[in-house]
Chains A and B, each alone.
Chain A
Amino acid sequence: MTAHIRQLPAETVNRIAAGEVIERPASVVKELVENAIDAGAREIDIVTVAGGLSLIRVTDDGHGMDRANLNLAVERHATSKLPADDLLDIRSLGFRGEALPSIGSVGYLSIASCQHGARDGLEVIVDRGSKQPIKPAALNAGSRVEVRDLFSATPARLKFLKSERSENMAVSEVVKRLAMAHPEVGFALTTGERTGLRLPRADLSGDGLLQRLGRIMGREFMADALPIDGERDGIRVSGFAGLPTLHRPDPSQQFLFVNTRPVKDKLLIGAVRAAYGDLIPKGRYPLLALFVELSPQEVDVNVHPAKAEVRFRDAGRVRSLLIGALRFALENAGHRATARGGTLTVETLVARSEPPAAAPFAYRATSQAAASHLPRGFSDAMQAPFAAFDEPSADSSAAQDEVAPDLLDHPLGAARAQLHETYIVAQTRVSVVIVDQHAAHERLVYERMKKMLSNGGVARQGLLIPAIVDVGDEEAAALNDKADELAELGLVLEGFGNGAVAVREMPALLGDTDIEGLVKDLAAEILDNGQGFALLDRLEAVCSRMACHGSVRAGRRLTPSEMNALLREMEATPYSGQCNHGRPTYVELKLTDIERLFGRR
């Protein structure tokens, strides 16, 4: 058999290109909505039917196109978005001029457009690669792009699509991400018969962005979001980040944008992880929406066909700015714990407020006796107590004093009682605060130790026999590059030829530890994220364990002044809203919530 090299026909070329840009219906939606945004639309209406396979329609009120533009728009590599042909200066979402012809080659594409002030609209149709002449159309100012029978020209692709439901999810995900980046544009998404999303245009001067984020990421996020704002050397990061006590088991609620373009970038994700660090339990992810803005010359978006990854000219600077801004906000949030704690408590109480099915058979009217029927968390169920000693363990002495009014003005208020020798109940002007004394004190001790660690330097213990760890060439090089940083943390290592490193000194704090495991973890992390967390993680874990032993345990009786001192220290210490295991250290019940419990509201 002889094979001759031949030039492929334009249609085949287009279909091959389409395979890269148009992967699934959601990619069509992405391209069309991006075009609408680039056209300066204020309202965008998206309709999909059958997961986008039978119809995708995007209607906008942007500036529209004239005849010449419309004609060119469906040609390959034709775009209005690269005015100076400068790929280093990309200011719009699209720029390749590939989307529309690609869509036209795999389905039925109709673009109708009407410029502002023009009398008539025009329409161009591309049916599976064949372009039909432009004809007049009736529509308001703006553009309407319809795609029907997507992938009818590439049946193979059609076969590999997922269920209609998951295509719908993908579409909605795409629209959400774009909508977060463009709160000034109104979005409406209709999937089949259902209205999926309705996001009104937000006012950017007020809390428009937060409102928009709240509609997409949930009310919880709105309540616990911290504004982020940082700028250095022409790079700006803004947006909102959730409190560390608000977390999820997957990173699906981490939204990152570079110049309003949604990205899933390793560097940025790593920076987020570094910033939250020990505030979040392992395997949990914070919620946030962050926008990085920088000069288009500083970032290369032309890396990934779907533009999900970007490259920064100065990655280190972006990273440190991001970490700095997040840390600053989290630190200033100080002791704030998620509002969800209070909400959850109220919900639980409401759920239990119906009388128990079987009433206690010997109901006694005195409040003390009634209290002894309450389930007592840690008491041994089998052991009957002496009735006379079986009183609630509340230390009520604090409550008997008159509360100093100035104490009430503190965020965590005035300590009023200690219950079960574990929980401090405090009162502010508008709420009741319940503090877990052990968790709270543990965090305070931990923060103190970490400060000590960073002030005093890390003492290093020399190794009699250097530990030789085989890590692989790339890993060894990565570790060597970071050798200075690691030495500051007490780990001294050097190259040992052929993909191995020799560890000569270890942080004394770690004692007799698994050196090989630590070094391998570090190497993998440095290669992945450009930075190793494992060492700091372990040092902090040791501190955290020591903090746990050195702190006030549950079960210790505290005097009112001790309790108040603890509350004041919590207010003054950053990150005291969660314990070392990421659980909240206190719960605040608003008076309004309590009133609701009793049906007063």
Chain B
Amino acid sequence: MRLVIERGELLRALGHVTSVVERRTTIPILSNVLLRAGNGKLSLKATDLEREVIEDVAATVSAPGAVTVPAHMLHDIVRKLPDGAEIEIKRDPEKERLTITAGQSRFALQTLGPEDFPDIAAGDLAHSFELGAADLKRLIEKTRFAISTEETRYYLNGIFLHVAEKGSSRTLRAVATDGHRLAQVELSRPEGAEGMPGVIIPRKTVHELHRLIEASSAPVKIGVSPSKVRFEIGTVTLTSKLIDGTFPDYGRVIPQGNDKELTVSNADFIGAVDRVSTIASERGRAVKLNITGDKLVLSVNNPEGGSATEEIGVGYTASPLEIGFNARYLLDIASQLEGDEAHFLLADPGSPTMIRDGGDDTALYVLMPMRV
């Protein structure tokens, strides 16, 4: 195997694939990236057995072949080479080394055989559709903060992507919850998604996907089967196993009868919550919301640290209400809102509260209050 490749191209591809490689692993080959040369391109592949990323880069291949080398080390080497360098990669079959030459620098890396490299992506995925990068990004960004990190309820450790009915139209909906709050965003259903099974995309895959589409604007091709999901973003393909579990019937926790509506300027609200929660040094300290007439008083009381209150003008006509929330949860949700106004739909201090975006009626959030 022998090829020449431009440094910038290789670095970008390595940046995409190596982030799935775990730094510490008990199976040596999982620390490696698979390089396969042929047909005028170099194909890179990395996996952690749950997901894999493949990227093709143009290269001048003089002898095809395949090899695996330590992924993070290769990434570090390429990163440190000067910009614009031409890199020659050559496998010396006798010494079982991969030599990398650029200018006056020369590296020889230990290799492992490509035949042992695991492959999870095999097989066709029954359902496939396309989403704009911006749409996919929105589904992820507005829900991922609510993904649970607690591993005994593993079925909450991801985003639940499924087709739902909204009135007469059908939508593609993403939901995430950690049992304390819930986030739900939807899009009109893309062509090809009908009949797609509801799938739970694991947290790490969500973060990888977000990284890959962050800078991109091209449409993303999505393939789904009951056990796998695949995203094709330009030259990169991310394939992931799904969480094998049943997402709870989240519809039950979305309150239907909350009739006390509070309308508040989102920027004012974020600022106020952020300021008063300074007093609460501990994790999980509650912000109390006291709503009377057109006035919302936010307060935090920390017996050891002091107290803080702030008053903001709001739109509210229902009977007065006092309710507590975790300050961090409030900020998490409020910072997802795009419109100028946040709408809170409240019932009582012990029941879930619904929060809607004044500028976007496809997203909704549910938050359980805290009792102090």
Interface of A toward B, CB cutoff 8 Å: 448, 452, 455-457, 459-465, 467, 505, 507-517, 542, 546
> What chain A residues lie within 8 Å of B339 (beta carbons)?
none
Contact yes or no, A459 B352, CB < 8 A: no
Complex CA gap A510/B152 in Å reads 15
Complex CA gap A204/B252 in Å reads 70
- In the complex, the chain B residue whose C-beta lies closest to that of A505 is B371
Interface centre among A463, A464, A514, A517 (most CB of B within 10 A): A464
Complex CA gap A512/B151 in Å reads 9
- In the complex, the chain B residue whose C-beta lies closest to that of A449 is B282
> What chain A residues lie within 8 Å of B148 (beta carbons)?
512
Contact yes or no, B285 A459, CB < 8 A: yes
List 10 additional A-B contacts (Cβ < 8 Å) besides A459-B324, A465-B177.
A459-B372, A461-B368, A462-B350, A464-B177, A465-B253, A505-B371, A508-B284, A508-B326, A511-B283, A512-B149
Contact yes or no, A465 B326, CB < 8 A: no
Complex CA gap A516/B152 in Å reads 8
A513 partner, pick from B150, B181, B368, beta carbons under 8 A: B150
Contact yes or no, A546 B283, CB < 8 A: yes
Instruction: Determine if B370 is an interface residue (Cβ-Cβ < 8 Å).
Output: yes
Known: A452-B303, A456-B304, A509-B282. A464 touches B352 (CB 8 A): yes
**What are some 8 contacts across the A-B interface (CB < 8 A)?**
A459-B285, A459-B370, A461-B370, A464-B180, A465-B253, A508-B285, A508-B370, A511-B283
Contact yes or no, B371 A464, CB < 8 A: no
> What chain B residues lie within 8 Å of A455 (beta carbons)?
303
Identify which of residues 316-372 in chain B touch chain A, using a CB-to-CB cut-off of 8 Å.
Answer: 324, 326, 350, 352, 366, 368-372
Instruction: Determine if B3 is an interface residue (Cβ-Cβ < 8 Å).
Output: no
Contact yes or no, A464 B282, CB < 8 A: no
B150 partner, pick from A465, A508, A512, A542, beta carbons under 8 A: A512
Complex CA gap A507/B304 in Å reads 19
CB distance from B181 to the nearest CB of A (A): 7
- In the complex, the chain B residue whose C-beta lies closest to that of A453 is B282
> What chain A residues lie within 8 Å of B372 (beta carbons)?
457, 459-460
Instruction: Determine if B35 is an interface residue (Cβ-Cβ < 8 Å).
Output: no
> What chain B residues lie within 8 Å of A465 (beta carbons)?
177, 179, 248, 250, 252-253
Contact yes or no, A508 B253, CB < 8 A: no
CB distance from A538 to the nearest CB of B (A): 13
Complex CA gap A78/B186 in Å reads 86
Contact yes or no, A462 B150, CB < 8 A: no
CB distance from B153 to the nearest CB of A (A): 8
Q: How many A-B contacts at CB < 8 Å in the complex? A: 81
Known: A512-B178, A517-B152. A464 touches B253 (CB 8 A): yes
Known: A456-B303, A517-B152. A462 touches B369 (CB 8 A): yes
> What chain B residues lie within 8 Å of A517 (beta carbons)?
152
Interface centre among B179, B285, B350 (most CB of A within 10 A): B179
> What chain A residues lie within 8 Å of B284 (beta carbons)?
459, 461, 507-511
Complex CA gap A467/B285 in Å reads 22
Contact yes or no, B303 A509, CB < 8 A: no
B179 partner, pick from A457, A460, A508, A512, beta carbons under 8 A: A512
CB distance from A515 to the nearest CB of B (A): 8
Instruction: Determine if B185 is an interface residue (Cβ-Cβ < 8 Å).
Output: no
Instruction: Determine if B286 is an interface residue (Cβ-Cβ < 8 Å).
Output: yes
Complex CA gap A515/B253 in Å reads 19
> What chain B residues lie within 8 Å of A510 (beta carbons)?
284
Contact yes or no, A509 B283, CB < 8 A: yes
CB distance from B45 to the nearest CB of A (A): 34
Contact yes or no, A459 B286, CB < 8 A: yes
Contact yes or no, B326 A514, CB < 8 A: no
Known: A462-B369, A514-B150. A467 touches B179 (CB 8 A): yes
Per-position contact with A for B120-151: 1 when CB-CB < 8 Å, else 0? 00000000000000000000000000001111
Contact yes or no, A464 B152, CB < 8 A: no
- In the complex, the chain A residue whose C-beta lies closest to that of B350 is A462
Complex CA gap A137/B105 in Å reads 106
> What chain B residues lie within 8 Å of A546 (beta carbons)?
282-283
> What chain A residues lie within 8 Å of B286 (beta carbons)?
459, 508
> What chain A residues lie within 8 Å of B250 (beta carbons)?
465
> What chain B residues lie within 8 Å of A515 (beta carbons)?
152-153
Identify which of residues 240-277 in chain B touch chain A, using a CB-to-CB cut-off of 8 Å.
Answer: 248, 250, 252-253
CB distance from B310 to the nearest CB of A (A): 20
- In the complex, the chain A residue whose C-beta lies closest to that of B151 is A514
CB distance from B340 to the nearest CB of A (A): 27
> What chain A residues lie within 8 Å of B180 (beta carbons)?
461-464, 512
Interface centre among A455, A457, A460 (most CB of B within 10 A): A460
> What chain A residues lie within 8 Å of B352 (beta carbons)?
462, 464
Instruction: Determine if B236 is an interface residue (Cβ-Cβ < 8 Å).
Output: no
> What chain B residues lie within 8 Å of A505 (beta carbons)?
371
- In the complex, the chain B residue whose C-beta lies closest to that of A456 is B303
> What chain B residues lie within 8 Å of A514 (beta carbons)?
150-152
Complex CA gap A507/B302 in Å reads 16
Contact yes or no, B368 A463, CB < 8 A: yes
Instruction: Determine if B229 is an interface residue (Cβ-Cβ < 8 Å).
Output: no
Contact yes or no, A464 B366, CB < 8 A: yes
Complex CA gap A542/B283 in Å reads 10
Known: A456-B303, A511-B283. A463 touches B370 (CB 8 A): no
> What chain B residues lie within 8 Å of A542 (beta carbons)?
283
Complex CA gap A267/B63 in Å reads 78
Instruction: Determine if B182 is an interface residue (Cβ-Cβ < 8 Å).
Output: yes
Complex CA gap A255/B283 in Å reads 42
> What chain A residues lie within 8 Å of B179 (beta carbons)?
463-465, 467, 512
Contact yes or no, A452 B152, CB < 8 A: no
- In the complex, the chain B residue whose C-beta lies closest to that of A452 is B304
Complex CA gap A508/B303 in Å reads 16
Contact yes or no, A462 B283, CB < 8 A: no
- In the complex, the chain A residue whose C-beta lies closest to that of B301 is A456
Complex CA gap A460/B368 in Å reads 10
Complex CA gap A517/B153 in Å reads 11
CB distance from A223 to the nearest CB of B (A): 37
Complex CA gap A514/B157 in Å reads 13
B182 partner, pick from A464, A512, A513, beta carbons under 8 A: A464
Interface centre among A462, A509, A510, A513 (most CB of B within 10 A): A462
Complex CA gap A467/B155 in Å reads 13
- In the complex, the chain A residue whose C-beta lies closest to that of B178 is A512
Which 5 residue pairs spanning A and B have beta carbons closest together?
A508-B284, A462-B368, A514-B152, A512-B150, A464-B253
Complex CA gap A289/B148 in Å reads 47
> What chain A residues lie within 8 Å of B302 (beta carbons)?
456
CB distance from A462 to the nearest CB of B (A): 4
- In the complex, the chain B residue whose C-beta lies closest to that of A504 is B350
- In the complex, the chain B residue whose C-beta lies closest to that of A513 is B150
Interface centre among B151, B326, B369, B371 (most CB of A within 10 A): B371
Known: A465-B179, A509-B283, A509-B284. A460 touches B303 (CB 8 A): no
Complex CA gap A351/B127 in Å reads 74
Contact yes or no, A462 B248, CB < 8 A: no
> What chain B residues lie within 8 Å of A448 (beta carbons)?
304
- In the complex, the chain A residue whose C-beta lies closest to that of B302 is A456
> What chain A residues lie within 8 Å of B324 (beta carbons)?
459
Complex CA gap A455/B178 in Å reads 29
> What chain B residues lie within 8 Å of A509 (beta carbons)?
282-284
Per-position contact with A for B159-193: 1 when CB-CB < 8 Å, else 0? 00000000000000000011111100000000000
Complex CA gap A511/B328 in Å reads 11
- In the complex, the chain A residue whose C-beta lies closest to that of B304 is A452
- In the complex, the chain B residue whose C-beta lies closest to that of A448 is B304
CB distance from A33 to the nearest CB of B (A): 53
> What chain A residues lie within 8 Å of B350 (beta carbons)?
462
Contact yes or no, A464 B368, CB < 8 A: yes
- In the complex, the chain A residue whose C-beta lies closest to that of B370 is A461
CB distance from A153 to the nearest CB of B (A): 58
> What chain B residues lie within 8 Å of A452 (beta carbons)?
282, 303-304
> What chain B residues lie within 8 Å of A467 (beta carbons)?
179
Per-position contact with A for B295-324: 1 when CB-CB < 8 Å, else 0? 000000011100000000000000000001
Complex CA gap A517/B303 in Å reads 31
> What chain B residues lie within 8 Å of A513 (beta carbons)?
150
